[in-house]
Amino acid sequence: MQARKPSGGALVLAVIPFAAMCFSVSLWDRVEPMLFGIPFNLFWLISWIVLSSLCMRVAYQMEITRNKKNGDPG
Amino acid sequence: MSPSAVSMTTTCVIVAIGVTTGILAGARRKMDLEQWTVGGRGFGAVLIFLLMAGEVYTTFAFLGASGWAYSRGGPTLYVMAYLTLAYVVSFFILPQIWEMGRKHGMQTQADFFSIRYGNKYLAGFVCIVGIASFVPYLQLQLTGLGMIVSIASFDGIGRTPAMVLSVVLLAAFVFASGIRAVAWVSVVKDVLMVFAAVAIGIGIPYTYFGGIGPMFVALAHAHPAHLTMPGATTNLGHTWYISTVLLTSLGFYMWPHAFGSAFTAKSGNTLRRNAAVMPLYSLTLAFILFAGFATVLVLPGLPNGDLSLLTVVRTSFPPWFLGVVGGAGALTAMVPASIFILTAATLFSKNLYRPLFAPAMTDDQIAKLARVMVVVLGLISLCLAIYSSSTLVSLLLTGYAGVTQFFPGVVLGLYWKRVTMVAVFAGMIAGVATSIVLMTGHWDPLFGWSAGFVALCLNFMITALLSLLAPRGAKSSHTPEASLVTKVLE
């Protein structure tokens, strides 16, 4: 009853947002420099919301291509 | 018209539009159990997006996130990180759950445990933990709704009448149209909510400081430590941030209603695409945080941080806008509350009552019992909300710590052949017990670590260890009982 394993590429693309938004917190949790009037930590998180969305978009394409190759419409 | 009449009328009109939309959503469809709980598995990308967004942006996002920005400062940033990462996690579990759900006719989270591990007591335990975790969450929504409506109507509508009326209305649309009602009411609610959040998040800083940038400069000058962790707290530092973000992002789709929303999708790819789009929606939260931070300087010293957003809106915006916020806020509480009630009612009837007490019940009888349970659960949560204690937040965190204990059983169940029923059951019991002990004993955070996360680690270790110790092949996950359950369901 096991699910098919996700591709390695998709997994790497998922680890990137975790590294950027979670584990590295002590590197970016500061107020200066303020960018566009927003403190650095808040600006960092807002940017990574957009970048994470892009990462998952690419992961989506990779899974789709792989599933098509295996003849499975998913 | 007086200001309170204007805002009250606006609020009532918005709620009426929302409720009518909900009741009409299921018209001309036969509401059997499949249609009622999973919308006939026919939701496309747009409806799924709206359903999931509707579930995410609860009164906690509206009042709690801004309240934390106001009272705690920096630690509130965890909200922005965990929502985004929850969608990243969903990419690897929801499509797989959907596929298994389609093959085996699953409608609920407990169905997954029952079929994957072939044990109705494990499924029953999952039900009980799930329903118990819902209770404080529901209570929070109703209490939030009472606050929103009473402030938005300049205290013209009391908290208790507002809560009673909202429970009657939401029970009506859930009763009539099930999950379809929830998705369509979300449409009304989300449009208004995004409008309100952006208007507040930009409007307040501009009114008082001439812009978002000057507001942050003034705040950084007046309270240099407020914008970073641990902000106004002493124990919510970086360790807390990492463990809490992990706990909540892994646990997010373990909430029975969020898990169950996977079954409503038309295809697995709908869910994958959704995982890429949903993070963008959490950008709205940034505006709510702007408003919360601005209020620190505009209205210092408010006793209850959760009321800061509404109070600042009432002092800064015209009455009609306050009415819009009131209406959007009321629906923001009603949508999640209705889906909690819908999910808990289905879980109780289908996965607790039938397998353990009345195995002969048909699906139609289950659907009837679930509808009765909607009314019963509505009444219970109403009583709790009216006579609520002050420990709501700690109860809510216990709820999160509770549902996250399903994670090892779900993810290992999907991807690891060797995981056994006994190991999952033991790990889950240990995890739930540890969470309860740590939280009721006020050991949260434990040495800076979020208590639920400590429990999750223990749970994972026990599940993995017991699975590895089980003799290979002897305890295959495909027990005869599992196939029996599958047959019964088919």
Report if residue B308 sits inside a domain.
yes
How many beta-carbon pairs under 8 angstroms link A with B? 137
> What pLDDT sits at residue B27?
66
Q: What is the dihedral of CA B136, B137, B143, B147, to 10 degrees?
A: 150
Give the residue from B300, B275, B267 showing the smallest Cα distance to B73: B300
Residue B256: asked if its preceding bond is cis (omega within 30°), the reply is no
CA distances from B289 to A46, B69, B195, B328, B329 (A): 12, 6, 15, 18, 16
Q: With contacts defined as CB-CB under 8 Å, which chain B residues touch A26?
A: 238
Instruction: Give B136 to chain A, closest Cα distance, Å.
Output: 27
Place of tokens 């006994």: B422
Residue A37 touches partner B, C-beta closer than 8 Å: yes
Which pTM does this prediction carry?
0.86
Please determine, for the modelled complex, whether the ipTM score is greater than 0.85: yes
Residue A1 touches partner B, C-beta closer than 8 Å: yes
Give the residue from B424, B201, B428, B228 showing the smallest Cα distance to B316: B201
Which of B74, B91, B238 is nearest residue A14 as measured by Cβ atoms? B91
Report if residue B469 sits inside a domain.
no
CB contact under 8 A, A34 and B228: no
Residue A27 touches partner B, C-beta closer than 8 Å: no
Report if residue B343 sits inside a domain.
yes
Secondary structure, 3-state, B331-389: HHHHHHHHHHHHHHHHHHHHHHHHHHHCCCCCHHHHHHHHHHHHHHHHHHHHHHHHCCC
Report if residue B463 sits inside a domain.
no
Would you state the structure tokens that stand for residue B31, as one six-digit string?
């509401």
Would you state the structure tokens that stand for residue B424, as one six-digit string?
């999952």
Q: How many domains does chain B have?
A: 1
CA distances from B174 to A50, B334, B340, B362, B370 (A): 35, 11, 10, 21, 11
Contact status, residue B381 vs residue B138, Cβ threshold 8 Å: yes
Report if residue B434 sits inside a domain.
no
Phi–psi pair at B105, nearest 5 degrees: 65, 40
Q: With contacts defined as CB-CB under 8 Å, which chain B residues touch A55?
A: 88
Q: What angle do CA B403, A54, A60 make, to 5 degrees?
A: 70
Chain A residue with minimum CA distance to B115: A1
**Distance, first Cα to last Cα, chain A:** 16
> What pLDDT sits at residue A41?
93
CB contact under 8 A, B88 and A50: no
Instruction: Give B126 to chain A, closest Cα distance, Å.
Output: 20
Q: How far apart are CA B63 and CA B66, in angstroms?
A: 6
DSSP string, B382-424: HHHHHT--S-HHHHHHHHHHHHHTTHHHHHHHHH-TT--HHHH
Report if residue B395 sits inside a domain.
no
Q: What is the pLDDT along chain A (74 residues), one digit of tens a residue?
A: 677 788 888 899 999 999 999 999 989 999 989 899 899 999 999 999 999 999 999 999 988 888 777 766 54
DSSP string, A22-67: IITHHHH--SPSPBTTB-HHHHHHHHHHHHHHHHHHHHHHHHHHHH
Q: How far apart are CA A58 and CA A51, in angstroms?
A: 11
> What pLDDT sits at residue B117?
93
Instruction: Give B65 to chain A, closest Cα distance, Å.
Output: 14
> What pLDDT sits at residue A72?
60
**Distance, first Cα to last Cα, chain B:** 60
Best interface-test mutation with B: which of A28, A30, A31 has the largest number of B CBs within 10 A? Answer: A31
Report if residue B152 sits inside a domain.
yes
Report if residue B153 sits inside a domain.
yes
CB contact under 8 A, A1 and B228: no
Would you state the structure tokens that stand for residue B144, as one six-digit string?
């939030």
Place of tokens 């106004």: B232
Q: What is the pLDDT of residues B299-330, one digit of tens each?
A: 888 887 888 888 899 889 998 998 888 888 88
Would you state the structure tokens that stand for residue B138, as one six-digit string?
């529901």
- Its domain, for residue B115, covers 3-390
> Which CATH number belongs to the domain containing residue B196 in this structure?
1.20.1730.10
- Which residues of chain B register pLDDT less than 70? 26-31, 35-36, 38-40, 42, 54, 388-397, 444, 473-490
Q: How far apart are CA B222 and CA B296, in angstroms?
A: 10
Residue A73: asked if its preceding bond is cis (omega within 30°), the reply is no
Give the H or E element holding residue B428: helix B421-440
